[in-house]
Structure 1
């Protein structure tokens, strides 16, 4: 299938696609080995090349197996195929393990933290823009293509730099600049009946399997995917032990979700699994969940200093329940075929663990509000709507105990689970698992509103 850009998709205007005023070309990493993320990307590139080589060997062996009728040759080829498939499986497992190596993307100086899931960048091969652009300028516009060698070289340098972007805002600007240039080229030089005549070669971010297409939409979609992936790496590197870090991390994951949503809504017929509609939908939901987790961490910082304030604990219970809901949706998406067939198993397990973990935190903070807090007179009565159903047609929930000893017994014993009601009852931990929402208004992140 050929990746297509939907006609109603919003591109980038001509003004935003102009080169920098100073005429300079921003650079990526000068060398893969200069830093830890660069070393990781270099390792991924080597794995992609090895996977591509094994795939070519397997294709040749399969063709020979189908073409020959000699029994001895077929047995030999079948044995060789088993070796190749075994090597491919080992390489894909190594790539999956590399994709789950989140240590290099976690902030330094923190203790034990719950890791985030960053996404690796798609790798590509070098590309020669000069020949097709010069021919197009000469044939279609009637001008000498060689007179634009400087501009074409700047475009090639820009693409080369995007292969190794730095893991910061400068790297994002670099990818955005190249994406803008692609939109400019698509609008001015190419049309559905006139393709660039280039073969764009990109490796799948999750499986390492190469994909090739001549459609410019494939190049644009791959760059947009890398913009989202780079946002995930920036978000995972933030220090969530301070308010500023949690805000930056939440914003980065929201921007990543927006990039994946834009890619899903405006491009179709993806040639690689990581850009399929199912994968992009899962990645969008994952980034929303991680952004919601960062919001919860930001609220937890000031609340941990005052654990005896009832409204703060109830808000934390609500936010933890929302995080559990989001991760429940992520786990459900990861467990569905075909996503589960090429997704690292550790991602699915981590999403499940986080859903249960934040569900437990919702119960904990609800119990803290009842047992350890010291509400003002009438405060619990004003907060009782948290434990009541959202509609008058549903049966009433349990009566909130007013006596401190009754609250302590209810929160500390086995009956504490009744305080955190089911999603249908609208309790503070409603939504723990795969469905439901919290009752109090809070910083609830949704794909459409915040993506």
Structure 2
């Protein structure tokens, strides 16, 4: 009995220790044996216990559950089509309805998680409530083991020992694993940008256009939770870009909106996020994931722009001295502009193809904002007219005339949009304030009708505060002997003095090093080009005998000017061959000057490692041969210059030719050797190469 009691006590103590330990939710799915040894990468925190991290962890688990139920539903549907026994069909149909019901429940739960916007919001130190912004959740992805596929491709395509690149493969795997759980700060953004830039090299090194390596990139839709899988790196790039924009939206939502600096940072983040979605929209197509479709990306981009305009309006509403009528009218027009933006966005979200993908709470919140900011515009027009003393200036009169228009299909209810005396001014103010109260009450009604938004106390405080302020100002105009009931005021036309411009992603800011640089320059040694296996050419020169060839270009150098029946031709050197190494030295990155220096130091016996390009599609006419190579002496070595052989071979880098052949070639015809890898200006910026990528 005492033994049982002891075990019970030890179990209770272990539970107590667990309760004291901080919550370390893992955002990604549980790692397997291959995933347990990843090193920590800056910008990633897979065990962050923040509210946002826990929310992302729940979203990841829901994605996996949705995937499992999709597989179960597919299996049940196949069995239902194949079954002939009536009882079996009934049992399968019952199971299918159960799985479908669970799947619908999981999707609703995911939609509720996407509606959890409050934990992303920043709080003002003064405690002033703000209308919540809408951040986007990150896409989830599964772990990928690149080891076997990359090693096989290195051995087969590059004819190199794959064991030398195990460290590079592991480094890339570590970066991708870390990218799955970025920190919610600038370090997390830098990690995503660096991984995206690294994909430029990986795609060119290991993904040939004519076949697949068997590597599948699987991502979950951030809005529906449905999995999508493709073999193209373009899908991986688009998904990473989506997460960049989503992370920007989260950073914008958490800014302190009670300060000008916080609002400026929020606007900048929103514009950068919208710019990334536009970049995806313009450079990637035929996406298998719903959240990467053109219509959804367009809505998300416009939503970010609307929230940026909302932040700019809040800058005008920051606590300050009493505003004059002109400033109040400017704020009213800005508020009307924000309302019109949300109105157009709500119409765009009402499209069936978009509506089914976006959370209902987003649409409800956007509707509330549309009504609220219309009410705010009328409030500031009414307060400005009410507090103004004296006659209207010419500028104010013009603003009133241009900013108010007749309601469609109705005569203007107010006789004068520009009041000419105090009585008209107070009556116009009364009409605007009454309209503000009506609209604030409508916003409160929409709030009460929204099930998810009823939990957002901060939103309720803002709506209640707006209603109370308008009611307080309207009370000042009420008199016992006033029998003029307010009528519908003119419609306020939106206008803004701010001009927003989207910011394209700045990939050049995050430079990365090619992890597989040892394979050679990526412009030549890539999965898009083919060449023969490296062969060793042993050169043994007798005294007084010339080498019989020249070299040109660099990284790598190209063999040109092979002398007929000369030493080079006898040992197997050909026009267009690349010199990949000499003896034990790797020369794939060497310049022509370095290669000449290595050959000069090697003396009369050395071994060249040669590769022959195989991308040539048609025979090239054989050009005229240069004169015979004279004996190579110390004097000849000293006379080698950068203008030895004039050749028509296209150079990947402008560099002088280095001649190992005769200098006495005056009057000979210029050679036009074929160059299969004509290299343009180098660039480490992958955005220059992704504009024509199409997701298949």
- The alignment's TM-score, normalised by the length of structure 1, stands at 0.84
Secondary structure in structure 2 of the residue aligned to 1:413: helix
1:374 deviates by 4.5
1:420 deviates by 6.3
Structure 2: runs of 5 or more not aligned:
1-38, 404-410, 436-486, 507-696
Tell whether the 8 Å contact from 1:387 to 1:421 is kept in structure 2 after alignment. no
1:134 equivalenced with 2:151 (yes/no) = yes
Tell whether the 8 Å contact from 1:28 to 1:165 is kept in structure 2 after alignment. yes
Which residue of structure 1 aligns with residue 235 of structure 2?
Answer: 218
Distance in 2, Cα, partners of 1:83 & 1:200:
30
Distance in 1, Cα, partners of 2:386 & 2:499:
26
Distance in 2, Cα, partners of 1:450 & 1:123:
21
Relative to 1, partners in 2 of residues 1:213 and 1:277: Cα closer, same or farther, differing over 3 Å? same
Q: Which of these residues, 209, 213, 223, is aligned with residue 206 of structure 1?
A: 223
Relative to 1, partners in 2 of residues 1:43 and 1:51: Cα closer, same or farther, differing over 3 Å? same
Q: Which of these residues, 401, 405, 408, is aligned with residue 419 of structure 2?
A: 401
- CA offsets 1:37-80 (integer angstroms, 9 cap, x no match): 11111111111111111111000000000111111111111000
Which residue of structure 1 aligns with residue 399 of structure 2?
Answer: 386
1:334 deviates by 1.5
Within-5 A mapping of 1:105-116? 105-108=120-123, 109=125, 110-116=127-133
Tell whether the 8 Å contact from 2:274 to 2:503 is kept in structure 1 after alignment. no
1:31 deviates by 0.8
1:442 equivalenced with 2:533 (yes/no) = no
- CA offsets 1:121-154 (integer angstroms, 9 cap, x no match): 0011101122222222222222222211212111
Which residue of structure 1 aligns with residue 368 of structure 2?
Answer: 353
Distance in 1, Cα, partners of 2:71 & 2:320:
60
Which residue of structure 2 aligns with residue 55 of structure 1?
Answer: 70
1:195 deviates by 4.0
RMSD value over aligned CA atoms?
A: 2.7
Q: Which of these residues, 185, 188, 193, is aligned with residue 168 of structure 1?
A: 185
Which residue of structure 1 aligns with residue 284 of structure 2?
Answer: 267
Q: Which of these residues, 77, 82, 105, is aligned with residue 92 of structure 2?
A: 77
Tell whether the 8 Å contact from 1:264 to 1:281 is kept in structure 2 after alignment. yes
1:344 equivalenced with 2:359 (yes/no) = yes
Relative to 1, partners in 2 of residues 1:160 and 1:381: Cα closer, same or farther, differing over 3 Å? same
Secondary structure in structure 1 of the residue aligned to 2:425: helix
1:113 deviates by 2.1
1:31 equivalenced with 2:86 (yes/no) = no
- CA offsets 1:156-210 (integer angstroms, 9 cap, x no match): 1111111111111111001111011112222444343244431111111011111
Tell whether the 8 Å contact from 2:428 to 2:489 is kept in structure 1 after alignment. no
Q: Which has the higher helix share?
A: 1
Tell whether the 8 Å contact from 1:199 to 1:213 is kept in structure 2 after alignment. yes
Relative to 1, partners in 2 of residues 1:444 and 1:46: Cα closer, same or farther, differing over 3 Å? same
Distance in 2, Cα, partners of 1:413 & 1:346:
32
Distance in 1, Cα, partners of 2:399 & 2:103:
54
How many residue pairs get matched?
A: 406
Q: Which of these residues, 121, 132, 149, is aligned with residue 166 of structure 2?
A: 149
Relative to 1, partners in 2 of residues 1:48 and 1:373: Cα closer, same or farther, differing over 3 Å? same
Distance in 2, Cα, partners of 1:447 & 1:337:
27
1:307 deviates by 3.5
Secondary structure in structure 2 of the residue aligned to 1:184: helix
Distance in 1, Cα, partners of 2:54 & 2:311:
28
Which residue of structure 2 aligns with residue 125 of structure 1?
Answer: 142
Distance in 1, Cα, partners of 2:428 & 2:317:
24
Distance in 2, Cα, partners of 1:309 & 1:388:
18
1:287 deviates by 0.4
Relative to 1, partners in 2 of residues 1:91 and 1:39: Cα closer, same or farther, differing over 3 Å? same
Tell whether the 8 Å contact from 2:346 to 2:367 is kept in structure 1 after alignment. yes
Q: Which of these residues, 406, 421, 430, is aligned with residue 412 of structure 1?
A: 430
- CA offsets 1:222-259 (integer angstroms, 9 cap, x no match): 10000011011111111111111111111111111111
Tell whether the 8 Å contact from 1:322 to 1:444 is kept in structure 2 after alignment. no
Tell whether the 8 Å contact from 1:366 to 1:420 is kept in structure 2 after alignment. no
Distance in 1, Cα, partners of 2:53 & 2:350:
31
Distance in 2, Cα, partners of 1:297 & 1:246:
8
Relative to 1, partners in 2 of residues 1:184 and 1:171: Cα closer, same or farther, differing over 3 Å? same
- CA offsets 1:64-105 (integer angstroms, 9 cap, x no match): 001111111111110001100111111111111111111210
Distance in 1, Cα, partners of 2:137 & 2:502:
22
Tell whether the 8 Å contact from 1:319 to 1:443 is kept in structure 2 after alignment. no
Relative to 1, partners in 2 of residues 1:25 and 1:399: Cα closer, same or farther, differing over 3 Å? closer
Relative to 1, partners in 2 of residues 1:219 and 1:173: Cα closer, same or farther, differing over 3 Å? same
